[in-house]
Amino acid sequence: MTTTIGTNLEHIRQSITNTAIRCNRPPENIRLVAVSKRFPTSAIFDAQKHGQLLFGENYIQEAEKKHNELSNDVQLHFIGHLQSNKAKTAAKISSMIETVDRLKLAKALNRHCVDLNKNLDILIQVNIGKDPNKSGVLPEDTEQLVTKVKEFKNLQIRGLMTIPPITNSPEETRPFFQHLKELAIRLSNKDLLPQEEKGLELSMGMSSDYTVAIEEGATLIRVGTAIFGQRPPL
Ligand SMILES: *Cc1c(COP(=O)(O)O)cnc(C)c1O
């Protein structure tokens, strides 16, 4: 039986495919991260039954609890603000940490990955709109951070992630997505990030603006509300 979550997923997959084809991108280069924060594990099971295996979580305790209930084929991307003292759990339960934005955090993650004998994929979170209320390294400081984080042998920097400032329309987020891509290409031309054809990742776009993000080169879109509905309060 198809559930609401199943129907929503079907709709978003169709929309990803349509958008990709419209801008001459292979649809399989765009991965959907289903953001399940604040929803019970049963919502993840529901999505999993409809073929979704990649989820995004923001809160480390909640993510750990869910991780323990999930099967091994489910992957979690950590997409919330991460404190260094939670780095150990995050390193253990995540297949990717999308929100590395400072050296201290990278150092802690690398140390725990050495202990766990794990290679961890990470993204550098960039505060592309220089929004004082948002985490992320400033665009002008990104090259320096990437250069230092590259030294950590157990962390693999796959690309960049951003949360643009809140705007009135999806179209207004376009310049922020363009800037993130420009920055990523510049760093990849300096061999600081993977080349585009070698899987450079750009995590950008949420429920309201993921089609704009795909048009501007997103390879990971993080969609919550459009799959699971309105989030329950904390
Ligand atoms: C909650 C969250 C999302 C999902 O937002 P929706 O608008 O519900 O799609 C995406 N990215 C991050 C970093 C989030 O915290």
Summarised one tens digit per residue, pLDDT across range 192-214 is: 999 999 999 999 999 999 999 99
Ligand 1 binding pocket includes 224 (Cβ within 6 Å) = yes
Distance 120 CA to ligand 1 centre (A): 22
Ligand 1 binding pocket includes 134 (Cβ within 6 Å) = no
Distance 151 CA to ligand 1 centre (A): 30
16 CB-contact burial (10 Å; exposed 0-12 / middle 13-18 / buried 19+): buried
Report pLDDT digits (tens) over 91-148.
Answer: 999 999 999 999 999 999 999 999 999 999 999 999 999 999 899 999 999 999 999 9
* Band of residue 233 on the pLDDT scale cut at 50, 70, 90: confident
Residue nearest to atom 4 of ligand 1 (CA): 224
- Alpha carbon distance 183, 177 (integer Å): 10
Per the confidence metrics, is the pTM higher than 0.85? yes
Distance 108 CA to ligand 1 centre (A): 25
Mean per-residue pLDDT for 139-162?
98
The DSSP result for the chain, as a single string, is ---HHHHHHHHHHHHHHHHHHHTT--GGG-EEEEE-TTS-HHHHHHHHHTT--EEEE--HHHHHHHHHHS-TT-EEEE-S---GGGHHHHHHH-SEEEEE-SHHHHHHHHHHHHHHT--EEEEEEB-TT--TTS-SB-HHHHHHHHHHHTT-TTEEEEEEE--PPP-SSGGGGHHHHHHHHHHHHHHHHTTSS--GGGT-EEE---TTTHHHHHHTT-SEEEE-HHHH-SPPP-
Q: What's the mean pLDDT when you consider all of the chain?
A: 97
- Alpha carbon distance 36, 39 (integer Å): 6
Distance 97 CA to ligand 1 centre (A): 15
Q: Which of 11, 12, 15, 35 to mutate to test the pocket of ligand 1 (most atoms within 8 A of CB)?
A: 35
- Sign of torsion, CA 178 181 183 185? negative
Q: Is the pLDDT of residue 15 over 90?
A: yes
* Band of residue 69 on the pLDDT scale cut at 50, 70, 90: very high
Distance 147 CA to ligand 1 centre (A): 28
Structure tokens that stand for 84 in this block: 């260094």
